[in-house]
Amino acid sequence: MSNILIIKHGSLGDIAQASGAIQDISENHKNDQIYLLTTKPYVDLFAKNPFIHEVILDKRLPRYNLIYLYFLMRELKKRKFSKVFDLQNSSRTNFYKNILFPKADKTVWSSSITTLPLDKNKDEFDKISVLERFDYQLKESNLNTSCTLRPDFSWASKDISEIKRFYKLDKYILLFPFCSPHLKIKKWPNYNKLIKLIIDRYADKFKIVTAPGPSEINDAKNINAITLLDNEKALDVSKLTSLIKESSFVIANDTGPAHIAAHTGTKGLTLFGKHTTAYKVSIERENFKAIEVTDLNNLSAEKVFERLVNLL
């Protein structure tokens, strides 16, 4: 039995996307112990993942913090990992490789760099979709892949019956009108107009709800929807996943909750401006689709509502 390390730091959408790759790594190493290196927001979440035996915390302190770096590298070295699957594929994780396995090829350290196609440079390779990159990386590492292109994030969910009873939720449409303050280009401004169209069409058939993150609770006051909280706090990832999975429909900006919806089989729509494409982030699924426009400010509520009606 060997020890295998997977590295995946985040963000939330990235975690959802990597679920299939993590499952495939585990399925190909049934007789080995699977460890995962991740950041603080996802330690408790990954502890629930059935394909991981143990989670290791990476605080991701600055690289010049030599004391922290020493102890982290010591922690990793003592596990005597026979293989590492770098699903983060960042400059930081490549830095870790240069410390832990400086001369390793793809047989020991699997990353987008060590498995890079001979006819492509990394910039070209990064233009293909996230899931296709994972799939190529794992296949080049001699793994059979059956889940990488079809990740299932349902493992993250937990019971929310108490929350649903408190808010008297049965059928509901879930909106995620938020985004990071530094990524306002992702934010669609017409959610309240859309809410009015939904209510005019469906009356009381669906409740309109939103589930803000910790920094979005005040912003939720500007949305004409029920704000779902758990004891006055934002839902944790597991409860949020269940809320998404059990909804009738999700409409979201290109954020973490949209990726959760995509990879739990939920019906819904995500709205893209020019910041990236639905293809590159691998978000369109059988039940979850995207509207892509040049400028989200010019995307009408009527167009989004028309797609909602057709998909719902």
Q: What is the pLDDT along the chain (312 residues), one digit of tens a residue?
A: 899 999 999 889 899 999 999 999 999 999 999 999 999 999 999 999 999 999 999 999 998 999 999 999 999 999 999 999 999 999 999 999 999 999 999 999 999 999 988 777 878 888 889 999 999 999 999 999 999 999 999 999 999 999 999 999 999 999 999 877 777 778 899 999 999 999 999 988 999 999 999 989 989 999 999 999 998 999 999 999 999 999 999 999 999 999 999 999 999 999 999 888 889 999 999 999 999 999 999 999 999 999 999 998
pLDDT score at 269: 97
Residue-by-residue DSSP string for 240-272: HHHHHHTSSEEEEESSHHHHHHHTTT--EEEEE
| CB contact set of 23 (below 8 Å; sequence gap of 6+) | 51, 147, 151, 152
The answer to whether residues 194 and 256 belong to one domain is: yes
Are residues 41 and 168 located together in one domain of the fold?
Answer: no
Same domain for 210 and 88 = no
3-state DSSP call for residue 6?
strand
**Number of Cβ within a 10 Å radius of residue 73:** 13
Q: How many helices (H) and strands (E) does the chain have?
A: 11, 11
**Whether residue 193 sits in one domain with residue 120:** no
Using alpha carbons only, give the angle 168, 174, 175 rounded to the nearest 5 degrees.
135
169 and 123 in one domain? Answer: no
Among the candidates 133, 154, 175, a domain finishes at 154
| CA-to-CA dists, residue 254 to 39, 71, 134, 225, 284, angstroms | 22, 36, 20, 19, 11
Looking at the structure of the chain, the number of domains it has is 2
**Whether 74 and 140 share a structural domain:** yes
pLDDT value of position 123: 80
Last residue of a domain, one of 154, 189, 217: 154
Q: Which domain holds residue 182?
A: 163-311
